[in-house]
Chain A
Amino acid sequence: MSHHFVEFKDVRFQYPDGTEALKGVSFRITHGESVGIVGANGSGKSTLLLHMNGYFLPSKGTVTVGDIELQKSTRQEVRRKVGIVFQNPDDQLFMPTVYDDVSFGPLNLGMSPECVKERVHEALTTVNCLDLRDKPPHHLSGGQKSAVAIASVIAMEPDILVMDEPAAYLDPRSRRSLITMLKTFVHTKIIASHDLDLILDVCARCIVIRDGIVVADGPSKAILSDRTLLEENNLELPLSLQRC
């Protein structure tokens, strides 16, 4: 019924300098799922995410988003479906004002100015940042930046929302409001993070990556309480599970 799925089939990727970052990754994420992607530094998480919108194309294997197989020619189409929120909001927010930044994507989609205005208004309302619209990004706090970065992506109304370490720069309170906000989103969500509590809170399913391959894939509750598996991957039990 739904076309909002992401499928990786034996995806391999080699950087130009010869480093093999992905060595055969396969998984399928279906409509409405929330999936956490965890793994040690350098395990290949970021490379994986950059495949989801065609910034990288697999050296071998296939990535399918909806009904479209990712290729050089289908990149733009895939980018309409998949919105990526990058780790550092300073990289994500490259336009001089919040308003310009949030409207950047919709304008590139070729929408009419009225339509764009509406989208921007909606997106900023969703993340509670409407009153920041005329500010330049460097006048925002870390939490506000992250929220606006998310707005800049949801303004394009992607089917699938991909986030890289969304809580990295946030204080505990901003992190908490981010989690609350993420839970209200109906999009298919894919979140890469070291913040396992956040994953446990937001994502029902979890994929563990090590050295470019999937080493575990299943319900977050089971995976994130498996102490040996986590420690093998330079991870620790989520704080909320350590108490018991």
Chain B
Amino acid sequence: MSFDEEYFNIGRLDRLSYQDTIVHRLDPRAKVVCTALFLFTVISFSKYEITALLPFFLFPVMLTTLGDIPIGFLLKKIAIVSPFAIFIGIFNPVLDTRTVVVIAGIPLSAGWISFVTILLKFVLTISAALLLIATTSFPGICHALRRLGVPAVFVSQLLFLYRYLFVLTEEAMRLVRAKDMRSFGSRGSSMKVVARLIGTLFFRTVERAERIYSAMLARGFNGDMPSLKEYRFRAVDGLYVSLTVLFLVLFRLYPVTDLFGHFIQEILP
């Protein structure tokens, strides 16, 4: 992916997180906690659990639709990060070839089942992470982390990073453009040039840190990063958490898919 593309992709996700929908209005703490519970439940399944994982798609589908998140964009972002999981997972069908199921005459090996399980888990966990940031503004997430006990120094670190990520990425983008414009088609760049570019970016960053620090001092900074923003944990947040927990427990303990399947088999002639 080109620099520009990558940059605008973050920007788009960031903009989505400032929408105003039911999901966006939920307390960030509720969303962080629910996402964590969801992730833990999903990866707690053993490696041959295709059917048991399917009901969990309800969670991302609900968040995507209620939170007005474009599905195509989400899928594309998932596809972009998939290579590592696919690369590691694809060894399973190669290494584990014992036939375990025959469906409609087609034998399936344990390796394929565990590979598909990895892929399902991958899609579920990655979409949960992306949906968290797409439905919760980054400052909101930081606030939640702070309230959940993450040290203040680290949280203010995250906030600074978020604030200057866009500024510095644009700065880097300008440097790269300026370089590209004078490299006349020689694709990529030598390490030496890149080291200089990064060095230049580094100096600008240090100078900027100086200016920011003076601006902070000018407004009475004394080592603390105070914030007034209040988030209230309302009944609806409680409801959201309880519903999520209820469904997670339900889907974890009862093989919903198989139950449905048997039900269908029983009513079919």
| A residues at B contact (CB < 8 Å) | 50, 53, 55, 76, 79-80, 83-84, 86, 88, 90-97, 99-100, 103-105, 107-109, 113, 116-117, 120, 134-139, 152-153, 156
User: Which residue of the partner chain A has the closest CB to B158?
Assistant: A96
CA distance A109 to B18 in the complex (A): 30
Binds A, one of B31-39, B41-49, B57-65, B219-227: B219-227
Contact B142 A86 (CB under 8 A): no
Point out the residue from A113, A137, A139 that lies within 8 Å of B228, measured CB to CB.
Answer: A113
Residues of A near B217 (CB, < 8 A) are 53, 55, 79
**What are 18 A-B residue pairs whose CB atoms fall within 8 Å in the complex?**
A50-B214, A79-B217, A79-B218, A93-B163, A94-B163, A95-B163, A96-B138, A96-B139, A97-B137, A97-B139, A100-B227, A100-B228, A103-B227, A104-B216, A104-B219, A117-B228, A153-B219, A156-B220
- Given pairs A79-B218, A137-B163, 8 additional interface contacts (CB within 8 A): A53-B218, A79-B219, A83-B218, A92-B215, A94-B163, A94-B216, A96-B162, A96-B163
Residues of A near B18 (CB, < 8 A) are 134-136, 139
Q: Which of A53, A108, A156 gathers most chain B CB within 10 Å? A: A108
User: Which residue of the partner chain A has the closest CB to B166?
Assistant: A138
Tally of contacts, chain A with chain B, CB under 8 A: 97
Residues of A near B139 (CB, < 8 A) are 96-97, 100, 136
Residues of B near A107 (CB, < 8 A) are 226-228
Residues of B near A50 (CB, < 8 A) are 214
Contact B167 A138 (CB under 8 A): yes
Contact A97 B229 (CB under 8 A): yes
Residues of B near A139 (CB, < 8 A) are 15, 18
Contact A156 B219 (CB under 8 A): yes
User: Which residue of the partner chain A has the closest CB to B170?
Assistant: A138
Residues of B near A84 (CB, < 8 A) are 215, 218
CA distance A55 to B214 in the complex (A): 7
**Secondary structure dominating the interface of B:** helix
Q: For residues 123 through 180 of chain B, which have their beta carbon under 8 Å from a beta carbon of chain A? A: 137-139, 142, 159-160, 162-163, 166-167
CB distance from A49 to the nearest CB of B (A): 10
Contact B159 A95 (CB under 8 A): yes
Does B12 lie at the interface of the complex (its beta carbon under 8 Å from any beta carbon of A)?
Answer: no
Does B198 lie at the interface of the complex (its beta carbon under 8 Å from any beta carbon of A)?
Answer: no
Contact B228 A86 (CB under 8 A): no
Residues of B near A97 (CB, < 8 A) are 137, 139, 229
Contact A94 B220 (CB under 8 A): no
Known: A99-B228, A100-B227, A135-B18. A80 touches B216 (CB 8 A): no
Does B208 lie at the interface of the complex (its beta carbon under 8 Å from any beta carbon of A)?
Answer: yes
Contact A116 B228 (CB under 8 A): yes
Contact A103 B228 (CB under 8 A): yes
CB distance from B108 to the nearest CB of A (A): 49
Residues of B near A99 (CB, < 8 A) are 228-229
User: Which residue of the partner chain A has the closest CB to B139?
Assistant: A96
Residues of B near A103 (CB, < 8 A) are 226-228
Q: Which of B159, B208, B227 gathers most chain A CB within 10 Å? A: B227
CB distance from B219 to the nearest CB of A (A): 4
CA distance A104 to B225 in the complex (A): 8
Residues of A near B228 (CB, < 8 A) are 99-100, 103, 107, 113, 116-117, 120
Contact A108 B219 (CB under 8 A): yes
CA distance A79 to B216 in the complex (A): 11
Contact B215 A94 (CB under 8 A): yes
CA distance A136 to B220 in the complex (A): 21
Contact A91 B220 (CB under 8 A): no
CA distance A108 to B214 in the complex (A): 15
CA distance A96 to B146 in the complex (A): 15
Q: For residues 191 through 250 of chain B, which have their beta carbon under 8 Å from a beta carbon of chain A? A: 208, 211-212, 214-222, 224-229
CB distance from B157 to the nearest CB of A (A): 12
CA distance A79 to B219 in the complex (A): 7
Residues of B near A53 (CB, < 8 A) are 217-218
Contact B220 A108 (CB under 8 A): yes
CA distance A153 to B217 in the complex (A): 12
Residues of A near B15 (CB, < 8 A) are 139
User: Which residue of the partner chain B has the closest CB to A55?
Assistant: B214
Contact B218 A55 (CB under 8 A): yes
CB distance from A110 to the nearest CB of B (A): 9
CA distance A120 to B229 in the complex (A): 12
Contact B208 A91 (CB under 8 A): yes
User: Which residue of the partner chain A has the closest CB to B208?
Assistant: A91
Contact B218 A108 (CB under 8 A): no
Contact B215 A91 (CB under 8 A): yes
Contact B167 A90 (CB under 8 A): yes
Contact A80 B220 (CB under 8 A): yes
